[in-house]
Amino acid sequence: FDMFVLAFAERLFRPTYRKDDFVLGKKLGEGAFGVVYKVSLAKPSLKKEGELVLKKATEYGAVEIWMNERVRRACANSCADFVYGFLESSSKKGAEYWLIWRFEGEATLADLMLSKEFPYNVETLILGEVQDLPKGLERENKIIQTIMRQLLFALDGLHSTGIVHRDIKPQNVIFSEGARTFKIIDLGAATDLRVGINYIPKEFLLDPRYAAPEQYIMSTQTPSAPSAPVATALSPVLWQLNLPDRFDIYSAGLIFLQMAFPSLRTDSSLIQFNRQLKRCGYDLVAWRKSVEPRANSELRRGFELLDLDGGIGWELLTSMVRYKARQRTSAKAALAHPYFGREGLLALSFMQ
Ligand code: ADP
Ligand code: MG
């Protein structure tokens, strides 16, 4: 009941928008299920909202609005600040869902990782200034650690809420200039198992570059699409049975890998890595044994980074990228991993 009243009050006092309120700016992205623009507000009286982002989505936009509303109430810090979503039916192309977020910043993790400056460009963003310190492996490791901690923190928020993102990749992790941390975006493929929303996985939405090897994040044995009240009662059990959150953990592990190894940051090299890993039975230790003897200096440097402090980085990575979902660590357990020292634990106790 409380949740209902809260949601209702929030609805009443939050601004609502219509199509004509927005002036379209630069196109930020275009996928199979929608187009994303930077927008500003037409009326000066509305301008205090600042810069916004608009996604014009197809029929899947309805689920994405639902997910964003839920995230805003349950784990607001995990994702980009959602402002408003509505059905826009006057468009020539038929009904579209319009979703509005606050403009979080110019760069996704993908943009930042493409730069030769990575990870120092991220350090500058987080600190707001350039550090006048010698560059080196230890410093790079610290920055990558911070990015991983922020990503896992955001994931833990989603997973604790019962949401599996299913499209975790650098393109869907944005640096929030306001919060000076990374946030997750694009809940277009997300699924909420506790209320049965989007219960039947839209497998075709999954990005094969970052997807875990399991075809279905829920066992095919589980009953199909129960009605909402039944699902609410059942799904914590299903969650325990299937550990669907571990799908995102695998993807986050691949991001960790790409941050440690510059040579795995391109699409083609990641695809090649995926083939190699598959050939090794999804065993990272076996993969390492197969590539390390003939590794170039750049690859060796990546292993060196992960081997710092007795190899705790490598240990964390191998606990995320595993064939069996059951054997992968959870976001919460990863944050308590020694790789993050005491800071991981602090992030948990401080924010929750
Ligand atoms: P899709 O991948 O379905 O096209 P996304 O939600 O991932 O849609 O958005 C596409 C791109 O738009 C992102 O990669 C990012 O560059 C940009 N973007 C999305 N949301 C925001 C936001 N809140 N602030 C700034 N940029 C954003
Ligand atoms: Mg996206």
The interface predicted TM-score of the complex, written ipTM, equals 0.99
| pLDDT, mean of residues 231-256 | 78
Strands lying side by side in the sheet with 22-31? 22-31, 34-41, 52-57, 96-102, 82-88
Q: Is 175 in the pocket of ligand 1 (CB under 6 A)?
A: no
Q: Specify the range with the lowest mean pLDDT, choosing from 28-42, 64-78, 247-261.
A: 28-42
Q: Is the pLDDT of residue 292 over 80?
A: yes
| C-alpha 246 chain-centroid distance | 13
Q: Is the pLDDT of residue 4 over 70?
A: no
Rounded distance, CA 183 to CA 266, Å?
22
| pLDDT score for 229 | 38
Residues catalogued as catalytic: 167
Q: Is the pLDDT of residue 323 over 50?
A: yes
Question: What spacing in Å lies between the alpha carbon of 185 and ligand 2's midpoint?
Answer: 7
Cβ-contact 165, 155 below 8 angstroms: yes
Going by alpha carbons, the residue nearest to atom 8 of ligand 1 is 186
The verdict on pTM exceeding 0.90 is no
Give 132's contacts (C-beta < 8 A, 6+ positions apart). none
| pLDDT score for 42 | 85
| pLDDT score for 204 | 55
pLDDT bracket for residue 206 (50, 70, 90): confident
| Element housing 35 (H / E) | strand 34-41
Q: Which atom of ligand 1 is nearest to the CA of 81?
A: 23
Q: Count Cβ atoms within 10 A of the Cβ of residue 132 and give its class: 0-12 exposed, 13-18 middle, 19 or more buried.
A: exposed
Q: By three-state DSSP, how is residue 335 classified?
A: helix
Which residue, 91, 98, 102, 81, is CA-closest to 34?
98
Give 92's contacts (C-beta < 8 A, 6+ positions apart). none
